[in-house]
């Protein structure tokens, strides 16, 4: 059998392929330039095996074994694969993938074993579950502030508020993927850096069907709404307005006709409000406390650090977003100028925390969140140096880590002040 050859860049994007690879995959070279190799292996392989192949090749210079590629029409292709890395200064400068079709080999023999673990991994990838800290932490911060100020608190509404937030966030994530798919953003965006930017790519990778994704979106929003209704009935009836506003912002961020993500700053504003003031206000009032401006204001730092995640993740997507008509502020400014937005947002988040403590809206213990500053500095330095190349991935990772550490420290500090009477 003829061996097909693909040339890949260090991020696993296709640079070129020979005629044998075109025939094997059912594509033309010009139509797949800069597409990720993950688009040409079955979804479970992309999750469970491909990262290991690339890692071993990058470490040892070579990986070889039998595995599955995927034809453009979705058919799995059993192949003998040889992945070789081109090294420069000890780091991979690119890869060469040689693929020889295997005759008489059932695809099931080479597929990752099915089971609960594989199903969980697929769910995590489709919903982008690890990013829910951006929504859950502001809610529990609001609950902690309620306890610190002596506001009414009840466990059942509190748990339901966290569940509602989690499910609505997953619904917003999956809805964003749906509208990117239907709006043509997925095939246009060749510079995305998974898992930080470009969405989950669950549909083009074949991880889920269109019908399955729609059912998942409906389930997340539906059960999230039921949990929110439970908070309204058992906790605070005024939260129906907060829940409706949050759900609307999460859906309208991606969905036409509003499609806030494409409206020059309205998307960033929506994320700030939905992942900051609205969530801390919801957490604070879940047990029956009245809605107050103070409870919303304490969410401003959380909103800023999550907007910073959105901001830095949009930098590698800039060209694709422009082509798809998604005129967020990063697309308007361009990658070079937009890089300055990251230190601005992160700096404002920490200054806002200091201001809230000075104003008595947060305990002095909340200044423990300043311990996350080194991660903010790390992300900023990388973004300033690598805004226009794939090194921006390091800034994306550091900004996500900053949000997690910042949010956890803020919550634990306020909770500690509540328990200790500080």
Alpha helices (runs of H) in 150-292, residue ranges in sequence order: 155-182, 185-188, 210-234, 239-252, 266-274, 277-285
Return the pLDDT at 251. 75
Which of the listed ranges 91-95, 137-141, 323-327 does the model predict with the highest average pLDDT? 137-141
**What are the tens digits of pLDDT across the range 234-292?**
878 888 888 788 778 877 777 777 777 778 888 899 899 989 999 999 999 988 888 89
- Pick from 291, 240, 257, 251: nearest CA to 274: 251
CATH no. of 130-420:
1.10.600
Query: What pTM was computed for the model?
Result: 0.88
Judging by beta carbons within 10 Å of its beta carbon (0-12, 13-18, 19+), is residue 419 exposed, middle or buried? exposed
State the CATH class of domain 4-110.
alpha beta
Give dist(CA 338, CA 49) in Å, integer: 35
Cβ–Cβ < 8 Å for 411, 134 = no
Rounded mean pLDDT of the chain?
90
Enter the tokens of residue 284.
């604070």
Cβ–Cβ < 8 Å for 363, 347 = no
| Confidence band, pLDDT 50/70/90 cuts, at residue 373 | very high
Q: Where are the domains of the chain?
A: 4-110, 130-420
**Better pLDDT: 30 or 192:** 30
Return the pLDDT at 32. 84
| Confidence band, pLDDT 50/70/90 cuts, at residue 1 | low
């Amino acid at each position: 059998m003829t061996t097909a050859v693909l040339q890949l860049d260090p991020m696993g994007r296709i640079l070129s392929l020979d005629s044998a690879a075109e025939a094997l995959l059912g594509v033309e070279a010009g139509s797949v330039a800069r597409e990720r190799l993950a688009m040409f292996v079955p979804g479970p392989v992309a999750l469970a095996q491909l990262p290991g192949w690339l890692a071993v090749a990058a470490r040892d210079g070579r990986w070889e074994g039998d595995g599955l590629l995927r034809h453009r029409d979705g058919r799995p292709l059993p192949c003998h694969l040889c992945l070789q890395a081109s090294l420069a200064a000890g780091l991979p400068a690119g890869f060469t993938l040689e693929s020889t079709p295997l005759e008489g080999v059932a695809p099931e023999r080479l597929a990752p074993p099915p089971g609960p673990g594989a199903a969980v991994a697929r769910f995590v990838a489709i919903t982008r579950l690890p990013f829910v800290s951006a929504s859950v932490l502001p809610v529990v911060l609001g609950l902690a502030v309620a306890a610190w100020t002596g506001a009414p608190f009840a466990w059942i509404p509190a748990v339901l508020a966290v569940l509602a937030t989690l499910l609505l966030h997953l619904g917003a994530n999956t809805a964003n993927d749906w509208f990117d798919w239907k709006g043509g953003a997925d095939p246009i965006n060749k510079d995305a850096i998974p898992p930080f930017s470009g969405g989950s790519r669950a549909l083009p990778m074949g991880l889920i069907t269109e019908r399955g994704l729609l059912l998942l979106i409906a389930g997340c929003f539906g059960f999230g709404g039921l949990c929110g209704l439970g908070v309204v009935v058992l906790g605070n009836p005024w939260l129906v307005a907060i829940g409706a506003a949050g759900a609307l912002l999460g859906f309208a961020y991606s969905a036409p006709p509003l499609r806030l993500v494409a409206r020059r700053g309205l998307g960033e504003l929506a994320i700030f409000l939905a992942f900051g003031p609205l969530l801390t206000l919801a957490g604070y009032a879940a047990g029956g406390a009245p809605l107050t401006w103070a409870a919303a204001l304490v969410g401003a730092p959380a909103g800023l650090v999550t907007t910073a995640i959105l901001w830095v993740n949009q930098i590698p997507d800039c060209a694709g977003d422009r082509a798809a008509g998604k005129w967020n502020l990063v697309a308007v400014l361009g990658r070079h100028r937009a890089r300055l937005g990251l230190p601005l947002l992160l700096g404002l988040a920490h200054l806002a925390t200091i201001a809230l403590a000075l104003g008595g809206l947060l305990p002095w213990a909340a200044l423990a969140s300043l311990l996350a500053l080194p991660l903010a500095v790390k992300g900023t330095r990388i973004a300033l140096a690598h805004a226009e190349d794939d090194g921006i991935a390091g800034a994306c990772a550091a900004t996500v880590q900053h949000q997690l550490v910042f949010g956890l420290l803020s919550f634990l500090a306020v909770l500690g002040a509540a328990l200790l009477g500080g």
